[in-house]
Amino acid sequence: MTSDLTEFAASLPKAELHLHLEGSLEPEQMFAFARRNKIDIPFNSVEEIRAAYDFSNLQDFLDIYYQGMGVLQTEEDFFDLTMAYLKRSRADNVRHVEVFFDPQGHTERGLPFSVAVDGISRALAEGEHSLGVTSKLIMCFLRHLSEEEAFETLKQAEPHLDQIAGVGLDSSEVGHPPSKFENVFKAARKQGFALVAHAGEEGPPEYVYEALDLLKVDRLDHGNRSLENDVLVSRLAKEQMTLTVCPLSNLKLCVVDDMRAHPLKKMLDLGLRATINSDDPSYFGGYMMDNFTAVIEALDLSKDDIRTLAKNSFRGSFLSEVEQAAHLAAIDAA
Ligand code: HPA
Ligand code: ZN
């Protein structure tokens, strides 16, 4: 039965809405980029890198994640990174992606803003042309930095408005509530960006309220800890707010102790619009279908749940209703 459900999930068209491109940097690519850019990395083998991916919380992961992205130096690196992710996702029948990148993780190292965005955009266009995977790009502000620095990043994005569809908020959550970024999100909203924010991964339900009421997000990234507050759950269900849930990430960062305790099934039963995503697939143990496989093995998901998850991924996307309808019809026909 499990493998039947996995096959069914694999056969459905899906969208990925929570994916950090820098978190798709595979150890093999880390070596290749380090070599061609003549950068020293503190690892001697792929095995050593994988052994270092032993996290017990978000900050442990972020320390290695920011170190890892240091090998990304040229537009070509960002192009290759993005193309590899798109090819990998297409193999899992992912047909649309809304991907994050962290501009400040690169400008802080002295790269011009345009290097990452131009390399990524070129790959996204190529991916649509050669793989049939459509896409949108979301730039995230690093919440451990100041709002003033986020404003600088928003300014740097101005010549690239045609390449960037949305603004997000990521990095160390606790101690950096959404309220810290209220003004810059307001400015981004005025400029027409779609808005998302990580909230309720490690932070409390109050952070989810702030993301909704102060940042006025169109979609919530993670949102797990919303389940601690019944009033919030009712509101999220009523508003059909999309939650971009990341099961393998939650396991690896100890947001859940065991996949069998993952709240995904409960979220669906509560009527929440949950979706499945891979977050940082190279660091957390896999891509879209690895995440589906893990929850299918651990939770008592039905065929209807799988169909709902696939549909939610398009309903929660920033595609137009007409564009969504084609994918939803294909899911219904499966
Ligand atoms: N949470 C917060 N920040 C991040 C993550 C995440 O899962 N991945 C990359 N930056
Ligand atoms: Zn994330």
pLDDT of amino acid 3: 83
pLDDT of amino acid 323: 98
State in Å: Cα 245 to ligand 2 middle: 9
Structure confidence at residue 34 as a pLDDT band (50, 70, 90): very high
pLDDT of amino acid 2: 58
pTM for the predicted model, two decimal places: 0.98
- pLDDT value at 28 more than 60: yes
Average pLDDT of the segment spanning 11-17: 98
Ligand 1 atom 10 nearest Cα: 171
User: Which is the closest atom of ligand 1 to the Cα of 22?
Assistant: 9
**Is residue 171 lining ligand 1, measured as CB closer than 6 Å?**
yes
State in Å: Cα 280 to ligand 1 middle: 8
Catalytic site residue from 201, 206, 297, 323: 201
- pLDDT value at 50 more than 60: yes
Q: Which CATH architecture has domain 2-26+75-333?
A: Alpha-Beta Barrel (3.20)
- pLDDT value at 1 more than 80: no
Task: State pLDDT tens for residues 162-178.
Answer: 999 999 999 999 999 99
Average pLDDT of the segment spanning 296-322: 98
pLDDT of amino acid 154: 98
**Is residue 143 lining ligand 1, measured as CB closer than 6 Å?**
no
pLDDT of amino acid 51: 92
User: Which is the closest atom of ligand 1 to the Cα of 249?
Assistant: 7
Ligand closest to 171 (CA) is 1
Average pLDDT of the segment spanning 205-215: 98
Average pLDDT of the segment spanning 300-308: 98
Average pLDDT of the segment spanning 312-334: 98
Task: State pLDDT tens for residues 82-132.
Answer: 999 999 999 999 999 999 999 999 999 999 999 999 999 999 999 999 999
State in Å: Cα 170 to ligand 1 middle: 5
Q: Alpha carbon of 174 to those of 57, 104, 159, 168, 274: distances in Å?
A: 11, 19, 32, 16, 23
Q: What is the 3-state secondary structure (H, E, C) of the chain?
A: CHHHHHHHHHHCCEEECCEEHHHHCCHHHHHHHHHHCCCCCCCCCHHHHHHHCCCCCHHHHHHHHHHHHHHCCCHHHHHHHHHHHHHHHHCCCEEEEEEEECHHHHHCCCCCHHHHHHHHHHHHHHHHHHHCCEEEEEEEEECCCCHHHHHHHHHHCHHHCCCCCEEEEECCCCCCCHHHHHHHHHHHHHCCCEEEEEECCCCCHHHHHHHHHCCCCCEEEECHHHHHCHHHHHHHHHHCCEEEECHHHHHHCCCCCCHHHCCHHHHHHCCCEEEECCECHHHHCCCHHHHHHHHHHHCCCCHHHHHHHHHHHHHCCCCCHHHHHHHHHHHHHC
- pLDDT value at 237 more than 90: yes
Query: Is 201 an annotated catalytic residue?
Result: yes
Tell me which of 42-46, 165-169, 179-183 is least confident.
Answer: 42-46
State in Å: Cα 59 to ligand 1 middle: 9
Average pLDDT of the segment spanning 31-47: 94
Residue type, 126: E
